[in-house]
Amino acid sequence: MRLNTARLFDGLGGNLTRTRLRRALQVLLAACAFFALTGGTAHADEQTLQVRVQDASETKKVPVEGVHVVVTDASGAVVAEGDTDEKGIAKITVPSDGQFTVTVDTSTLPDGLTIPDGEESRTVNVTAGLGGNAAFNLGHSGPTAASKASLFPKAVFNGIRFGLVIAIMSVGLSLIYATTGLSNFAHAETVTLGAAMTWTFASWFPLSDAAGGWGAFGTLLFASVLGIGTATLFSGGLELGVWRPMRRRGAGLTAMMIVSIGIAIFVRFAIQFRFGSQPKSYKQFASQTNLNWGPIGVTPRDLAGAVLALVVLLLIAGMLMYTRIGKAIRAVSDNPDLASTTGINTDKVILTVWLLGGALAGLSGVIFGLDEQVQWNMGTRLLLLMFAAITLGGLGRPFGALIGALVVGIFVQLWAWWFGNFTDLKNIGALAGMILVLLFRPQGILGKKERIG
């Protein structure tokens, strides 16, 4: 099974030298033509200008039919008009090449679709022989100024809800970081695992398929216990099977961080392998009517999730402040060596933290899966927001993570509220904000400065 190199490179022979020189020259010339932009010389020939209009508010773009577009020349005179076909394309003949302005007649846009301000018209270069192209992307109608203001409380409320869910994940991640120094990339998969297992168990034991009601609730409760249990065991199992042995061998944090990435990739694709790629939702809780308080509307399902998250966070805070194990956790995060000399069993504390972190991650997965959908990469999509939260709050400060998570949650929802039709950019704000905070306050909101040497 030897590679036949002669065969691989045959046909390269004779032509090579001659053409290579020519090509080399071409490359050189091309490099010289660095500044060469296309310049239009006037040709009085008719050219085709192709205008495409599509709904770009979703990941998959959808052509929009029946939109009227108007083409004007440099003097503003209308030279041609047209309507888009079922492919969202209008082929418009213009009298010559050169520069034209294409404008979308916004009154012909279908209901619910809009074009971002200032993008209704655009200048297009039409080249002789090649014609020209213009594409317009529509988004969903942004609310009017008045309704936008009235949506503000809802955005803040949703931000708090989202922030609370992020907070449960982040507090666990932060506690792990505080006690072991490890940035655990596999935390995202613990979240996914909790959510995916809960969904799977719920589909195995349907006490009742009826929407709402005690049967559905019972199923969910039962499945959640099993799902969160799986996440807890997974997290604790990693501590016993991987992290503790690595610590014993004196492995560096970098090595452990890379191992956590390996575990994350393995578990993520193992979930995709078994659970599939399609997002899944809880049918029993899918269609609920909103409870309304003034401008804020929320389904009982989402409200319950938020209240549960809040209660759990308060319990965690209370535990850290007042219980024996909580104080031990704080002692270990302040100084592991000192803590172990004062008789604290560091290994036990760290194991507790991993179990607790796993349980919190699983719970947040369940709440988030109910709120949105259960998918193999749901945790991964939230991982950077978790890191943003714990970095904003100050690495290794569990209470900082809580505040950071709320800031991130509200920030993300307000971004979506403000930028209306381009929600795909909403995470950018949080991530960019995190980088900016690091620039001016590297220790985060609640962080402390470090001593060297």
Partner 1 sequence: MSAEPITDAVFADVPNEPGAPKPDPILIADDVRRAFGGLVAVDVAHVEVQRNTITALIGPNGAGKTTFFNLLTGFDKPDSGTWTFNGRSMEGVSPTKAARLGMVRTFQLTKSLTRMTVLENMRLGATQQMGERLWAAPFRFLWKDQEADITTRADALLERFKLDHMREEFGGALSGGQRKLLEMARALMVEPEMVMLDEPMAGVNPALKQSLLEHVKGLKEEGRTVLFVEHDMDMVHEISDWVIVMAEGQIIAEGPPDFIGSNQEVIDAYLGAHQNTDLGA
Partner 2 sequence: MNWSQILSNSLYAAFNATAIGFCLAAIGLNVHFGYTGLLNFGQAGFALVGAYSIAMPVHIWHWNLFACIPVLIVMSSIFALLLGIPTLRLRADYLAIVTIAAAEILRLLVSTPRWVKTTGATDGLQNFTGDFRNSIPFDRPRFNFWKTPITNYDLWVMICGWSLVAIFSVLVWALIRSPWGRVLRSIREDEDAARSLGKNVFAYKMVSLVLGGVIGAFGGAMLAIGNQSANPITFKTELTFFAYVIVVLGGVGKVKGPIIGAMIFWMVISFTENFLAGATDGKGFDLPTWLVDNKNFGFVRFLMVGLGLVVLVVFRPQGIFGDKREQAFDVR
Helix (H, G, I), strand (E, B) or coil at 430: helix
| Residue 387 site contact among partner 1, partner 2, none (CB < 5 to 8 Å, cut-off depends on kind) | partner 2
CB 319 → partner 2: shortest distance, Å? 26
Binding to partner 1 by residue 452, rule CB under 8 A? yes
Cβ atoms of 187 and 155 within 8 Å: the answer is no
Please give the structure tokens belonging to residue 130.
């090649």
Q: How many residues does the chain have?
A: 453
For residues 194, 195, 196, 197, the Cα torsion angle rounded to the nearest 10 degrees is 50
Helices (H) then strands (E): counts for the chain: 14, 11
Angstrom distance (rounded) from CA 69 to CA 53: 10
Q: Which of 85, 209, 334, 424 binds partner 2 (CB under 8 A)?
A: 424
Q: Which of 62, 286, 314, 432 binds partner 2 (CB under 8 A)?
A: 432
Cβ atoms of 290 and 212 within 8 Å: the answer is no
Find the binding residues for partner 2 in span 137-166 (CB under 8 A): 137, 139
Q: Of 250 and 294, which has the nearer Cβ to partner 1? A: 250
Q: Which of 2, 248, 249, 449 binds partner 1 (CB under 8 A)?
A: 449
Say if strands 47-55 and 132-140 run parallel, antiparallel, or are unpaired. Answer: parallel
- CA-to-CA separations, 9 to 6, 12, 14, in angstroms, rounded: 6, 6, 12
Binding to partner 2 by residue 310, rule CB under 8 A? no
| Residue 435 site contact among partner 2, partner 1, none (CB < 5 to 8 Å, cut-off depends on kind) | partner 2
Q: Of 23 and 448, which has the nearer Cβ to partner 1? A: 448
Binding to partner 1 by residue 33, rule CB under 8 A? no
Binding to partner 1 by residue 249, rule CB under 8 A? no
Binding to partner 2 by residue 300, rule CB under 8 A? no
Angstrom distance (rounded) from CA 309 to CA 288: 20
| Residue 351 site contact among partner 1, partner 2, none (CB < 5 to 8 Å, cut-off depends on kind) | none
Please give the structure tokens belonging to residue 441.
């306050």
Find the binding residues for partner 2 in span 165-204 (CB under 8 A): 183
Binding to partner 2 by residue 6, rule CB under 8 A? no
Q: Of 162 and 387, which has the nearer Cβ to partner 2? A: 387
Please give the structure tokens belonging to residue 307.
């209240």
Residues with Cβ within 8 Å of 190's Cβ and at least 6 positions away in sequence, in order, are 172, 231, 234, 235, 357, 358, 361, 362, 365, 379
Find the binding residues for partner 1 in span 70-129 (CB under 8 A): none
Q: Which of 112, 213, 262, 279 binds partner 2 (CB under 8 A)?
A: 262
Angstrom distance (rounded) from CA 122 to CA 252: 56
Binding to partner 2 by residue 123, rule CB under 8 A? no
| Residue 269 site contact among partner 2, partner 1, none (CB < 5 to 8 Å, cut-off depends on kind) | partner 2
Amino acid 427 reads: N
Q: Which of 205, 273, 293, 418 binds partner 2 (CB under 8 A)?
A: 273
Find the binding residues for partner 2 in span 204-223 (CB under 8 A): none
Q: Which of 90, 166, 339, 395 binds partner 2 (CB under 8 A)?
A: 395
Q: Of 388 and 401, which has the nearer Cβ to partner 2? A: 388
Angstrom distance (rounded) from CA 362 to CA 78: 61
Please give the structure tokens belonging to residue 194.
């909790």
Q: What is the CA radius of gyration of the chain?
A: 29
Binding to partner 2 by residue 240, rule CB under 8 A? no
Binding to partner 2 by residue 382, rule CB under 8 A? no
State the residues that interact with partner 1 by CB under 8 A.
Answer: 448-449, 451-453
